[in-house]
Amino acid sequence: GGTESLMKQIRKHFRYRQWRSDIFTKDNYICVFCGKRGYEIQADHYPKTFSFILKEYKIKNLEDALKCEELWSINNGRTLCIKCHIKTDTWGKNII
């Protein structure tokens, strides 16, 4: 149970995979920090983090998440390579 399980459920859902794909397309598969193209890239919720959105909208289950438009907005996402993502405040382990 808990938020971790909810995050995993969301990340496994088709809509999350579609959001990631849309972010990569928007940024042309290029890390917005270092300019690397297509190499170990990740979609990052930014400027509002994934966990912040879950808290702000009091998302408790997958159904709530699917209804939350901000969670799926390409205006709240960016493409980062893993090396750049780890250095950010939005990297999962840095926001706890």
pLDDT tens digits, one per residue of 45-62 = 999 999 999 999 999 999
CA dihedral 2, 96, 13, 27 (to 10 degrees): 170
What would the mean pLDDT of 73-85 be, rounded to a whole number?
Answer: 96
Query: Is the full-model pTM beyond 0.95?
Result: no
Residue 17 has pLDDT above 70, yes or no: yes
Q: State the maximum Cα–Cα separation within the chain, in Å, rounded to a whole number.
A: 38
